[in-house]
Structure 1
Amino acid sequence: MGNLKGFEAEFAKIGFFIPPFVNFGTFSEIIKGVRVSQGHSQAHIEAALKKIYTPGHLAAMVISRYPQTPIVQHYKVIISESIEAHFLGLNHVAVSGLVPVIEGTARQLHELFGLGKARKLELKPMLTALLSYAKKETNRLKLGAYEEVESMLDSFDHYLKQYLYAGSDRYSLVDKTNRNGITHGSYADADYGTPLNFYKVIGAVDVLCLIAKFQPFAPRETPESLALAMYYLGLAEWKEQDLKTNAAFLDMEN
């Protein structure tokens, strides 16, 4: 048992946080992949995180985790539709659908845990209070590898303050995964809408799942989740074929 401070620092370098429901081997593979690429470009980071948010993993979460998690279950349809949009290549829609889920879930968890009326609080102080409570509970209950969970929460806290909820004019990364810029329309088509944006926001939803109900391991595959994963794969293949068809059509016109 131990903390994950090393991983916390490495994920911070790429503007992300320690994702829950992922094993150490995958952590190491992601960090190694980014290092080998000799850069922290959006394409390299996106390719690394794609190894986490696979059709199989997301299908299992849609079937067996989001609908069974307190508070998060109220957003299960929005989450499911956003994931479907992601596999269709509609990442502007996927991301803008999930950003309110993060905020709504966090505020309701704040109230569920008896921390006060979250709707009257500014967003950052509310999130700080929620994560502080979660860390204290993690250390009090000492469930599982609690020191590892604390590192995940510290990593997530840093990500929220430095990136997701920073002022849009102060967002320092190319990918523009920023709540203010997206929600208030400061960002247009060209500013965001990539798979990397989606991975960052669905990862935030997953951290809130861990806070809402301590289940540190990813759900197992089921016949239902395998069928859904095949559907997601079909969407991605259809999108790729559609792009090729449109490109060929444009070539013929020119």
Structure 2
Amino acid sequence: MGSLDSWSVEFEKIGWFIPPYVSMSQMDKILSKNVKNQSYITQAELEIILADLYSPLNMANLYVEKYSKTPFIKDYIEVLGDGLEAHFLGLHYAAVATLIPVVEGISRRLAKKRNVEHRYIKQTIKNLCESCKTEVNSRKLGAYEEVESMIDSFKEFSTKKLYIDSSQYPHSDYTNRNGITHAAYDDSDYGTPINFYKTVAAINSLCFLSEIDSSLSWFPPKESESGSKMSLFFSKCQEQSNIRERSF
């Protein structure tokens, strides 16, 4: 298919980026909805679409087949498990607060392995992405032009959204590391599922980058018995979340 830079530009406008482990048809659905409305879709509309991409089954398969096996990601497997469980229990503040530090931890470990770590996390992520992109291009790995666009898209999201100064975050969902971890944002600013979707998508991108070095598959995770069992657990968590919401 070649470069996906045009997709990256359109996703950036709505506070999103090109995620790994998501099919072209699923991404095209988001873009088509954006064009159909003749205006940028809202964060609430984007949240509804992303709920299908990060469903109990998909997240369970990612956890079992990707997170638990991929270098540097698996170092945080217990933390990731808690973050996923919190999300499906409807504990949205807890979910994003649990997972955001993992983005930085994985980024720094990957960058250190590639000898491109920097004192500041934004520059660390920039260096990491450039290093990975150079390798993908030089070795012509997979559909390398598409992969380069994905890496650039993740870099732009991380440095211009996730890690930007909290006062400059441009979207209504406020998925921003500084605003959340430094409590610059209060209850009314964030605490919805889209915060989880964007954060876990960033973790998935780092998982994808780690697979470059480890020679693991870039394809979406396959279903497994363990994944199905975890999916059932996450679905039960959602049921508890519904009970909790009706109780207060």
Residue in structure 1 matched with residue 140 of structure 2 by the alignment: 142
Which segment drifts farther, 3-12 or 85-94?
A: 3-12
Residue correspondences, number: 243
Report the Cα distance in structure 2 between the residues aligned to 1:35 and 1:233, rounded to whole angstroms.
33
Q: 1:226 pairs with 225, 228, 235, which one?
A: 228
Report the Cα distance in structure 2 between the residues aligned to 1:195 and 1:60, rounded to whole angstroms.
19
Q: Residues 161-176 of structure 1 correspond to what in structure 2 (within 5 A)? A: 161-176=159-174
Q: Residues 11-90 of structure 1 correspond to what in structure 2 (within 5 A)? A: 11-37=11-37, 38-90=39-91
| Closer, same or farther: CA 34–85 of 1 in aligned 2, 3 Å | farther
Say which SS state the counterpart of residue 191 (structure 1) adopts: coil
Report the Cα distance in structure 2 between the residues aligned to 1:193 and 1:78, rounded to whole angstroms.
19
Deviations 1:51-90 (A, max 9, x none): 2111111000111110111111100111111011000111
Q: AA paired with 1:10?
A: E
Residue in structure 1 matched with residue 9 of structure 2 by the alignment: 9
The 8 Å contact of residues 14 and 40 in structure 2, kept in 1 or not, is answered as no
| Closer, same or farther: CA 228–10 of 1 in aligned 2, 3 Å | same
Say which SS state the counterpart of residue 50 (structure 1) adopts: helix
Deviations 1:158-178 (A, max 9, x none): 111211111001111110111
Residue in structure 1 matched with residue 156 of structure 2 by the alignment: 158
Residue in structure 2 matched with residue 216 of structure 1 by the alignment: 218
The 8 Å contact of residues 3 and 151 in structure 1, kept in 2 or not, is answered as yes
How many Å apart are 1:218 and its aligned residue?
A: 1.0
How many Å apart are 1:238 and its aligned residue?
A: 2.2
The 8 Å contact of residues 139 and 146 in structure 1, kept in 2 or not, is answered as yes
Residue in structure 2 matched with residue 241 of structure 1 by the alignment: 243
How many Å apart are 1:151 and its aligned residue?
A: 0.3
Residue in structure 2 matched with residue 125 of structure 1 by the alignment: 123
Larger radius of gyration: 1
Residue in structure 2 matched with residue 198 of structure 1 by the alignment: 196
Q: AA paired with 2:24?
A: F
Say which SS state the counterpart of residue 53 (structure 2) adopts: coil
How many Å apart are 1:237 and its aligned residue?
A: 1.8
How many Å apart are 1:36 and its aligned residue?
A: 3.7
Which segment drifts farther, 122-131 or 194-203?
A: 122-131
How many Å apart are 1:39 and its aligned residue?
A: 4.2
The two structures, once aligned, show a CA RMSD in angstroms of: 1.4
The 8 Å contact of residues 33 and 41 in structure 2, kept in 1 or not, is answered as no
Q: AA paired with 2:9?
A: A
The 8 Å contact of residues 163 and 178 in structure 2, kept in 1 or not, is answered as yes
Say which SS state the counterpart of residue 236 (structure 1) adopts: helix
Which segment drifts farther, 24-33 or 88-97?
A: 24-33
Q: AA paired with 2:138?
A: R
Report the Cα distance in structure 2 between the residues aligned to 1:235 and 1:130, rounded to whole angstroms.
35
TM-score (structure 2 length as normaliser):
0.94
Report the Cα distance in structure 1 between the residues aligned to 2:245 and 2:168, rounded to whole angstroms.
34
Residue in structure 2 matched with residue 105 of structure 1 by the alignment: 106
Q: AA paired with 1:105?
A: I
Report the Cα distance in structure 1 between the residues aligned to 2:154 and 2:40, rounded to whole angstroms.
22
Deviations 1:180-238 (A, max 9, x none): 11111111111111110100000000000011113321110001101111111111122
Report the Cα distance in structure 2 between the residues aligned to 1:13 and 1:218, rounded to whole angstroms.
26
For structure 1, the residue ranges without an aligned partner over 5 or more in a row are 248-254
Q: AA paired with 2:5?
A: K
For structure 2, the residue ranges without an aligned partner over 5 or more in a row are none
